[in-house]
Amino acid sequence: MGSLLSQLGLECGRKEVKEEERHLRANDREFNLSYEYADNAIKTSKYNIFTFLPLNLFEQFQRLANAYFLFLLCLQLIPEISSLSWFTTVVPLVLVLSMTMAKDGSDDINRHRCDRQVNNRKVEADLLLLSSSEPLNLIYIETAELDGCVSVAFIIFLTVVQSLNFSCPCVGEVRCEPPNNRLDKFTGTLTLKGEMYSLDNERVLLRGCTLRNTQWCFGLVVFGGPDTKLMQNCGKTTLKRTSIDRLMNVLVLSIFGFLAVMCLILAVGNGIWEYQEGSKFAAFLPKQEGVNAPFSAFLTFWSYVIILNTVVPISLYVSVEIIRLGNSFYIDWDRKMYYPKSDTPAEARTTTLNEELGQIKYIFSDKTGTLTQNIMTFNKCSINGKSYGEAWQKVDFSWNNLADPKFCFHDHSLVEVVREGNPEVQAFFRLLALCHTVMPEEKKEGELYYQAQSPDEGALVTAARNFGFVFRSRTPESITVVEMGELVTYELLAVLDFNNVRKRMSVIVRSPEGKLTLYCKGADTIIFERLNPSCSKLKEVTTEHLNEYAGDGLRTLALAYKDIDPKYMEEWKLRHHEASTAMDEREEKLDALYEEIEKGLLLLGSTAVEDKLQDGVPQTIEQLSKADIKIWVLTGDKQETAENIGYSCNMLREEMTEVFIVSANTAEEVRKELQSGLFCLLKTETVADEPVDGEYAMVINGHSLVRTRTLKDMEMELLRTACMCQTVICCRVTPLQKAQVVELVKKYKQAITLAIGDGANDVSMIKAAHIGVGISGQEGMQAVLSSDFSFAQFRYLQRLLLVHGRWSYLRMCKFLRYFFYKNFTFTFVHFWYGFFCGFSAQTVYDEWFITLYNLVYTALPVLALSLFDQDVNDRWSFQYPKLYAPGQLNQYFSKRAFVYTVLHSGYSSLVLFFIPWAAMYDTVRDDGKDIVDYQSFALLAQTCLLIAVSIQLGLDTHYWTSVNQFFLWGSLCVYFAVIFTMYSNGMFLIFTSSFPFIGTARNSLNQPNVWLTMLLTSILCVLPVVAYRFLRILLWPTVNDKVRYKVRQDKVLPPAPRRVQARRASTRRSGYAFSHAQGYGDLVTSGRFLRWTPKSRPALFSQTDSPLAQTQPQFYRTINEGGEPPLSP
């Protein structure tokens, strides 16, 4: 029975038992099966052939609109209530359900195919690696499916298991953590022959990895099927909804209430009418027995619920999804956001947030790799109190046969000191050659390449290589370095890995002479706290050099070392082994041991690595600032470095009124600094965006941010001060603090936020913001995989927001306003007609017109408007960034705009009902025959309605294309073709009951007064709109009106943007940046020799394919400084 339910996909009643610890034995099947762990089959599909129809319908009817129309269909099956045929509701409902069902079915078929492909693989689980075909206890893997990184990595296995016979039963017992979604963490122990060994993430081959350059491997399955870390990460992500989505939900509920009020009014009218029957008038036909006035009113209420159901648009959600999908394609297809160097196009990874891009108020940006290129170059260094790299003469490294020919340094005195054998200088470069996670690769004899997880480490190891300390190879137990031509092998005893809290890494090595040394590199503040007191003078000089380097925008790092007593080392290693095999609080115990041994360090010096800004960053930030978008930079750099980068990319400017610095260490000091800044800005009790005189910026460090989170009132003070500044720079912040800053603004501000970054440390920030943008750079693809939109360069952000975002918002707002207008106008005519038909729940229009109005006659024209319309082209959007402001203020669609739309619809419905009613009252044809029948009036009313809403659509269209013209005129032609066909004699003879309007179109549309009525209603519907728009543009023109007037005046594209030279701040500023990423310390014990050569991809687009690239190649890098439009047309 259970298997049958499993095959049918009905396992909802299965009770999950929480697993606390997992026990496994190699080659002991009975022991492993006793725990009933999940098998290796996975299932990501939602349906099968039996459950598709019921489950999909169940999901769709969870939508309020679909459930509402199902309820209406049930009401229409009651003859006493319904005055409409069943198909008026069935046809739209079935069409909407079928379109959604087709999409869901197609997606699920693809999921079934993926499941079959994955489940048919021979090995696809989380494995504890035991052996492989490769030497040095490792295998080569590619983790692109896990983290998007296409570089080759490796997994190492314990040396102790290398010589085991795996055909013997019960090789060993594994105890490990329960299944979880932490890709970067694995905690467990292997018990073998009475000895316990530590297991971590460097020993486990995760599902989703691809073997490279490895013929075979053996492993013990730790997690299978749904328990694997990859599948644990495939859970439902947080659904992001736009502000328009939230507003639409409120409006739809309001519409339901409004519908109930209209139905109640008409029901009360029917009750009064029925009550007066017999006294005020007499009915021609006798009343049914048992039907009194209250009961008739009750039935009438539900009858009008059916008739007026069009006020709730069933096709609204489907149309919105189509519009969003189309606007997403525009982003994917935009060649102006394509980066040819890396063959990376822009990508809309979600289709539900396009219009939100046109409402961004706050941008939270990472610095390294986002604003900068993340291509590091060793530029300067300080060794034993002396600074090197200030000269202009390029160093000749021809004396070093193993030097990297691409490396460049400008101070020959450093080479001389190295070659003279200065011990401090040699110790400096020896540290760079030993303390890292880089792996070497020698493709050809003498051609040495480094594979680094961090660009900073690659730059530092390359510098050591060129100055005579060449890192050549490593095994899990040793590191080999060529020191000034002499091959030296160091025994690797321990690696003290980097993480965001430690902000440093260390290695402990034994030299061939038996000397034990700890080498450490990290943040200057972290290293300086652990220095021996004898280094105080050297520390002062090095601090000065660090500040000078940061003044040039360089990323700095402090280096130190320490000699270790052998006896202490033996005792420390025992405690280290005990901590590394602990199942509980392993990381905390290891951190305590690391803290103990990394004390009393001796300072060697510091390094300075250059990371240049990306092309177009200053211009992009300037454009976004002109669009009134506030930019916050959240970086792990030191305060001085963050300030310098701020000046370099025009976020901070010398002409600013003031730049507030918040860098206190206590909560009370932070409060005083915030209050001082707030006093300079404006005293206020709210969190709104108050206008301030002048331009202000704020720089705050991570320590101060921690203090502000201790008290809620301090959070509010921080937010008040920061939100009145044009630019905010948060320095020395952790990934968690980045997300907390974003959440703080989201919590207290009614504004849309965007976060942009390129690394794994930006993922939390990207997920926290309303919109997440990932940049595919040098730090893998983790940020891209977590983002909503992605591209290769920061400069493309301005096009994403100022062009695609603004257009998407404008189109969606126009669509919603017009959609509600045409539906309310359609419905209100029924409402007015109720007062003239005795509240008898009769319809004004033909039933087929009611059915086809939203599906055929008005569907395609409004979709064309929503997909192609634009107020001005992209060049003018860049020329006048202030065009972006209406989206930030929700000016195009809000509750007020909705009320105006309803009032406009009410006026139009009055014209569209009473003008045809008056025109048809006691009217005769040219031949003297009567024309005042119901069918003729219905035809005239529905024709006037369709023409009026079509004209309104034309007034709302700013950008006409052939598609717009075809859909608009084609819909009108289809309407007339349909009515002449359905009202013909032939259709009446075939379907007598379904087409009762025989000859109505032929007899009515040949009368001049009918056409004059259509003309009059059209003029009266359009005249107030035209008059209002004329007066508004004349008396209260918006920025959009001014720009469009200027466009019409010029009749040509604006001049090509001129190149703006990025200005360097004249004042000197200092800074610091740390270069590592967490989790790579165990790489140094791997012994990895890369042999895999990545295949190059063909270019997706040619640079010569783009007309813009041919005519204006500088467009990507520069944006013209657009002035304000003229104050009045």
**pLDDT, tens digit (0-9, with 9 covering 90-100), for 767-786:** 889 999 999 876 667 788 78
Confirm or deny that 147 is annotated as ligand binding: no
pLDDT of amino acid 922: 72
Q: How far apart are CA 600 and CA 896, in angstroms?
A: 67
pLDDT of amino acid 213: 63
Q: What is the four-CA torsion angle of 161, 164, 168, 173, rounded to 10 degrees?
A: -20
Q: Pairing between strand 486-496 and 173-176?
A: unpaired
- Which of 108, 334, 366, 871 is catalytic? The answer is 366
What residues have CB less than 8 Å from 761, skipping those under 6 apart?
366, 500, 636, 735, 738, 1077
What residues have CB less than 8 Å from 774, skipping those under 6 apart?
756, 757, 758, 762, 766, 781, 783, 784, 785, 786, 787, 789, 790
* Token pair recorded at residue 154: 């490796």
Q: How far apart are CA 469 and CA 467, in angstroms?
A: 6
DSSP-assigned states of every residue in 272-334:
HHHHHBTTTB--SSPPPTT--HHHHHHHHHHHHHHHGGGGS-TTHHHHHHHHHHHHHHHHHH-
Distances (CA, A) of 783 to 229, 475, 759, 780, 1069: 19, 32, 5, 8, 30
Mean pLDDT on 663-674: 80
Residue 900: which of 976, 982, 961, 813 has the closest Cα? 813
Share of the chain above pLDDT 70, in %: 75
Check: CB of residue 769 under 8 Å from CB of residue 751. no
Confirm or deny that 693 is annotated as ligand binding: no
pLDDT of amino acid 167: 56
* Token pair recorded at residue 569: 């080392």
Residue 77: which of 66, 88, 67 has the closest Cα? 88
Mean pLDDT on 527-556: 89
Q: How far apart are CA 475 and CA 162, in angstroms?
A: 15
Least confident of 292-301, 681-690, 849-858: 681-690
Residue 896 CB coordination number (10 Å): 10
Confirm or deny that 738 is annotated as ligand binding: yes
Q: How far apart are CA 975 and CA 474, in angstroms?
A: 78
DSSP-assigned states of every residue in 758-795:
SSGGGHHHHHHSSEEEEE-SSS-SHHHHT-SEEES-TT
Tokens 């050297």 appear where? Answer: 538
Q: How far apart are CA 400 and CA 417, in angstroms?
A: 15
Answer with the residue of higher pLDDT: 211 or 433.
Answer: 433
Mean pLDDT of the chain: 79
Q: Is the pLDDT of residue 896 over 90?
A: yes
Mean pLDDT on 431-458: 81
Residue 1073: which of 661, 640, 659, 650 has the closest Cα? 640
Q: Is the pLDDT of residue 248 over 90?
A: no
Confirm or deny that 366 is annotated as ligand binding: yes
pLDDT bin (cut points 50, 70, 90) of residue 1015 is very high
Using H for helix, E for strand and C for coil, what is the string for 190-234?
EEECCEEEEECHHHEECCCCEEECCCCEEEEEEECHHHCHHHHCC
pLDDT of amino acid 1108: 37
Confirm or deny that 762 is annotated as ligand binding: yes
Q: Is the pLDDT of residue 234 over 50?
A: yes
Q: Is the pLDDT of residue 442 over 90?
A: no
Q: Coil, helix or strand for 476?
A: coil
CA atoms 795, 796, 797, 798: torsion sign: positive
- Quick: pLDDT tens for 615-658: 899 999 999 999 999 999 998 877 777 887 888 888 888 788 88
Global pTM?
A: 0.76
Q: What is the four-CA torsion angle of 119, 123, 125, 126, rounded to 10 degrees?
A: -170
Tokens 């290769």 appear where? Answer: 792
* Token pair recorded at residue 99: 């379109």
Tokens 């006048």 appear where? Answer: 880
pLDDT of amino acid 90: 66
Q: What share of the chain is helix, strand, coil (3-state, %, to 5)?
A: 50, 15, 35
What phi and psi values does residue 610 have, to the nearest 5 degrees? -90, 135
- Quick: pLDDT tens for 955-996: 999 999 999 999 999 999 999 998 888 887 766 666 666 666
Confirm or deny that 542 is annotated as ligand binding: no
Q: How far apart are CA 343 and CA 331, in angstroms?
A: 16
pLDDT of amino acid 41: 63
Answer with the residue of higher pLDDT: 660 or 1096.
Answer: 660
pLDDT of amino acid 1109: 41
CA neighbours within 13 Å on the CB side: how many for 905? 23
Residue 567 CB coordination number (10 Å): 8
DSSP-assigned states of every residue in 124-167:
-SEEEEEEESSSTTEEEEEEHHHH-EEEEEEEE--GGGTT--TT
Beta bridge pairs of residue 930: 924
- Quick: pLDDT tens for 530-544: 999 999 999 999 999
Q: Pairing between strand 486-496 and 478-483?
A: antiparallel
pLDDT of amino acid 79: 65
Number of H helices, E strands in the chain: 39, 30
Mean pLDDT on 162-168: 59
pLDDT of amino acid 806: 95
* Token pair recorded at residue 859: 């569907």
Confirm or deny that 732 is annotated as ligand binding: yes
Check: CB of residue 531 under 8 Å from CB of residue 602. yes
Which range, 47-56, 527-536, 549-558, 665-674, has the best average confidence (pLDDT)? 527-536
What phi and psi values does residue 926 have, to the nearest 5 degrees? -60, -30
First to last CA, the chain: 77
Answer with the residue of higher pLDDT: 174 or 287.
Answer: 174
- Quick: pLDDT tens for 301-313: 888 888 888 887 6
Residue 509: which of 535, 481, 469, 467 has the closest Cα? 481
Residue 591 annotated among the catalytic residues of the structure: no
pLDDT of amino acid 672: 81
pLDDT of amino acid 530: 92
CA neighbours within 13 Å on the CB side: how many for 378? 26
Answer with the residue of higher pLDDT: 21 or 155.
Answer: 21
Residue 370: which of 91, 705, 676, 738 has the closest Cα? 738
Q: Is the pLDDT of residue 874 over 50?
A: yes
Confirm or deny that 749 is annotated as ligand binding: no
- Quick: pLDDT tens for 720-747: 888 888 889 998 888 888 888 999 999 8
The vertex-406 CA angle with 403 and 411, nearest 5°, equals: 75
Answer with the residue of higher pLDDT: 914 or 288.
Answer: 914
Tokens 């007598």 appear where? Answer: 992
Q: Is the pLDDT of residue 2 over 80?
A: no
pLDDT of amino acid 1091: 37
The H or E element containing residue 734 is: none
Q: Is the pLDDT of residue 359 over 90?
A: yes
pLDDT of amino acid 880: 93
Mean pLDDT on 343-365: 91
Tokens 């730090």 appear where? Answer: 779
* Token pair recorded at residue 1013: 């009525």
Answer with the residue of higher pLDDT: 976 or 693.
Answer: 976
Mean pLDDT on 357-364: 94
Residue environment code for 445-471, b if the CB has 16+ CB neighbours within 10 A, otherwise e: eeebebbbbbbbbbbbbbbbbbbbbbb
Confirm or deny that 555 is annotated as ligand binding: yes
Mean pLDDT on 393-410: 87
Check: CB of residue 203 under 8 Å from CB of residue 157. yes
- Strand ranges of the sheet holding 516-522, from the earlier edge strand across to the other edge: 386-388, 377-383, 602-610, 554-563, 516-522, 504-510, 486-496, 478-483, 469-475
CA atoms 365, 370, 374, 380: torsion sign: negative
Confirm or deny that 498 is annotated as ligand binding: yes
Distances (CA, A) of 1060 to 618, 695, 1120: 9, 21, 8
Q: Is the pLDDT of residue 578 over 70?
A: yes
Mean pLDDT on 1090-1112: 40
Domain with CATH 3.40.1110.10 in the chain: 377-610
Mean pLDDT on 514-532: 92
Q: Coil, helix or strand for 905?
A: helix
Q: Is the pLDDT of residue 369 over 70?
A: yes
Least confident of 281-285, 332-336, 409-413, 478-482: 281-285
Residue environment code for 473-500, b if the CB has 16+ CB neighbours within 10 A, otherwise e: bbbbeebbbbeeeeebbbebbbbbbbbb
pLDDT bin (cut points 50, 70, 90) of residue 575 is very high
What residues have CB less than 8 Å from 275, skipping those under 6 apart?
293
Least confident of 172-181, 847-856, 1109-1118: 1109-1118
Which range, 39-43, 148-152, 427-431, has the best average confidence (pLDDT)? 427-431
Confirm or deny that 611 is annotated as ligand binding: no
The H or E element containing residue 580 is: helix 566-580
Which range, 149-163, 812-826, 917-931, 1053-1067, has the best average confidence (pLDDT)? 812-826
Q: Sort 566 into a burial class: Cβ within 10 Å, 0-12 / 13-18 / 19+.
A: exposed
Q: Which CATH architecture has domain 377-610?
A: 3-Layer(aba) Sandwich (3.40)
Confirm or deny that 637 is annotated as ligand binding: yes
Confirm or deny that 13 is annotated as ligand binding: no
Q: Coil, helix or strand for 660?
A: strand
pLDDT bin (cut points 50, 70, 90) of residue 1096 is very low
pLDDT of amino acid 107: 63
